[in-house]
Amino acid sequence: MFESATEALALLFTLKGSLYLCLGVGIGLVFGAIPGLGGTTAIALLIPLTFGMQPAEAITLIGGVMGSVAFGGSISAILLNTPGIAPNAATCFDGFPLAQQGKAGMAIGAAATASSLGGILGVAILMAVIPIAKEIVLLFGPPEFFALAILGLGAIALSTGGKFLRGLIAGGVGLALAFVGLDAVNGGDRFTGDVEYLLDGVRLVPTLTGVFAIAEMINLTLKGGRVVSGDGASMKISRVSDGIVSVFRNVPILLRGSAIGAFIGAIPGVGGTVASFLSYASTVQASKNPESFGTGNIQGVIAPESANNAKDGGALIPTLAFGIPGSAEMAIFLGVLILHGLEPGPMMLVEHEGVVFSLIVAVASAAILASIIGLILARWLSLITLVDVHILAPTVVAVALVGVYALHNSMGDVAVAMIFGIIGFLMIRYDYPRITAVIALVLGELAERSYHQSMMIGDGSYSIFYGRPISAVLLIATVLIILSPSIRGWLRNRKREA
């Protein structure tokens, strides 16, 4: 095993290897930062280019993209309150307020550091788990996935506090939308009204671009001025190094975020959005002053950014164990393997060690390289916050929609993005949290499908959920999490009385 790892590392230090890595990182950063694009698009685009390459080279290129996309997205999240890719949505919550206070450099510095360390930790967790990867994947079946989906949904409902009611409603709407399209269990289609475009369901990329990017641009148009509040003359772009240092002052948050990211990343189909938000929400819950979040607490940047990079390590677990893609990018990566004559499956680690380690090394290196580039460019990037929003808004809208179109050459996607842009803006206007709708949209499909599958496996009895140890534990954890604020309030009251 060690020879393959060192071989993969050696490739990196060749001219060709590092060239491919840099190219991948460059593409990943740009595609990550532009709302409406993302890693999946970038990798899909690159596939034809990999035809002539050696497998290890192709994988270095793709790994480079994978490891850098999440950090690229954090840049627009921080500077424009618009996540570059959906997993950066949670970074907006505290990243953007920091930018508004003139601390964009610090936020980017923290994001860069958290991303690279999170990426490395995710890979470390993967390496630790590889020997038992198969067993882990076998432990998680439909009942466990159902319990996890419910846990995720419960956590988001909880985290909206004062907008709890509207958070639940937004979540309900998200769930309703999740059911549109082909029913994976029963085979028919639902809620499509015979519109062919809807057969694949409410498409995630245009919807999220609309709800976050377009809606935010409409909001900014009305707010006016510049991203940075206060007058420009006295504004300073704060030191990036402060951001870097802050990560090392918050190591527990980094560790927890990475663990959550790796774990959620290993669940096929759930992905970075849930991982980053759960990391954010758990950090808020664990914090001594939760009210400070949303106003520019640097921990609110570190938590999601470490998670959304660690998820790549996690996504490799089912991918390597059985050839089941842990994420959309992994699915395409597997396709590339097949194209090059490598057969993913339970023997992948045994038969294609070299290729596997090339990917791992590439992803980890990409995270570091992307962060270094980001740190160098941070000061210049922060200058965007000084640009008048009336120039920013139409530019972002235009470029985001070009990106949305480019995904599937579909104006239908652009129309969807626009519709959800309006809906998203109305949600901002009337205080319906968008993040709960988004998470519900992502988790709804998994929850319903796993529920039906579990019932079929368990012959119609609910005991399948509490009979199996893991799902039982998860369900109990869900109940505890939902009750936790009440429990804490009760404990606090008791202390006061004592």
Partner 1 sequence: MKSKIILSTAAAFVAAGFVGNAQAAFPEKDITFLIPFSPGGGMDSTSRQVAKNMGKYLPNKVNVVPKNVPGAGGRKGYGLLAKAGGDGYTISVINMPGAIIPQLTGQKVNFDVTKFVWVGRMSTSPYLFGVSGKSSIKTVADLKNLGRSVKVLSTGFGSTAYTGASIFKTVVGFPVQFVTGYKGSKQYIVGVVRGDGDAGIAPTQTFNKFVKSGDIHGVVTFEEKSSFKGVPTIAEAGYPELTGLGVERMVAAAPGTPANIAKILSDAVGKAIADTDSQAWAKKTRRPFGHLSGADTQAAVDKALAIFKKYPAALAKSN
Partner 2 sequence: MADSAGMNSPHSDKMILNLLPPLIVSAFAVIFLTWSYTYDQKAQQVPVLVGWSLIVLCVLDLVAATGTALGNGIKTFFTGTIVGEASGEAVAAQPMRKVLVAMVWPVAFVVLVYFVGFLISIPIYVFTFVVFQGRKSVKVGAWSAVAATAFTWIVFSQLMQYEVFPGLLFGGQ
Half-sphere exposure of 84 (CA within 13 A, CB side): 26
* Rounded Cα distance, 463 and 477, in Å: 17
* Rounded Cα distance, 457 and 451, in Å: 10
Q: Does 132 bind partner 1 (CB under 8 A)?
A: no
Query: How are beta strands 181-182 and 189-190 bridged, if at all?
Result: antiparallel
Tokens of 237: 């772009």
Query: Which element (helix H / strand E) includes 190?
Result: strand 189-190
- Which CB sits closer to partner 2, 13 or 430? 430
Stretch that binds partner 1, among 16-24, 191-199, 207-215, 239-247 (CB under 8 A): 191-199
Tokens of 400: 């985001």
Q: Does 441 bind partner 1 (CB under 8 A)?
A: no
Tokens of 443: 């988790």
Helix H segments across 83-184? 89-100, 104-129, 133-139, 142-158, 164-178
Residue 123: count other Cβ atoms within 10 Å of its Cβ.
26
Tokens of 486: 């009440």
In the list 172, 294, 345, 485, the residue contacting partner 1 (rule: CB under 8 A) is 345
Kindly report the backbone phi and psi dihedral angles of residue 442, in degrees, each rounded to the nearest multiple of 5, phi listed first.
-75, -45
Residue type, 130: I
3-class secondary structure, 226: strand
Cβ(189)–Cβ(181) under 8 Å?
yes
Count of residues interacting with partner 1 (CB under 8 A): 44
Q: Does 422 bind partner 1 (CB under 8 A)?
A: no
- Which CB sits closer to partner 2, 18 or 410? 410
CB of 470 to partner 1, least distance (A): 12
Residue 138, contacted partner among partner 1, partner 2, none, CB below 5-8 A by kind: partner 1
In the list 13, 15, 288, 409, the residue contacting partner 2 (rule: CB under 8 A) is 409
In the list 158, 332, 370, 414, the residue contacting partner 1 (rule: CB under 8 A) is 332
Stretch that binds partner 2, among 64-72, 126-134, 247-255, 389-397 (CB under 8 A): 389-397
Q: Does 172 bind partner 2 (CB under 8 A)?
A: yes
In the list 52, 193, 196, 231, the residue contacting partner 1 (rule: CB under 8 A) is 196
Please, which of residues 265-304 interact with partner 2 by CB under 8 A?
A: 280-281, 284, 290-291, 293-294, 300
Please, which of residues 197-236 interact with partner 1 by CB under 8 A?
A: 199-200
* Rounded Cα distance, 486 and 1, in Å: 50
Please, which of residues 237-256 interact with partner 2 by CB under 8 A?
A: none
In the list 402, 476, 479, 487, the residue contacting partner 2 (rule: CB under 8 A) is 402
CB of 393 to partner 1, least distance (A): 32
Q: Distance of CA 211 to CAs 353, 361, 397, Å? A: 41, 35, 12
Q: Does 322 bind partner 1 (CB under 8 A)?
A: yes
In the list 230, 232, 249, 429, the residue contacting partner 2 (rule: CB under 8 A) is 429
Which residues here bind partner 1, judged by CB under 8 A? 44, 47-48, 137-138, 141-142, 182-188, 194, 196, 199-200, 268-269, 322-324, 331-332, 334-336, 338-341, 343, 345-348, 408, 449-450, 452-453, 456-457
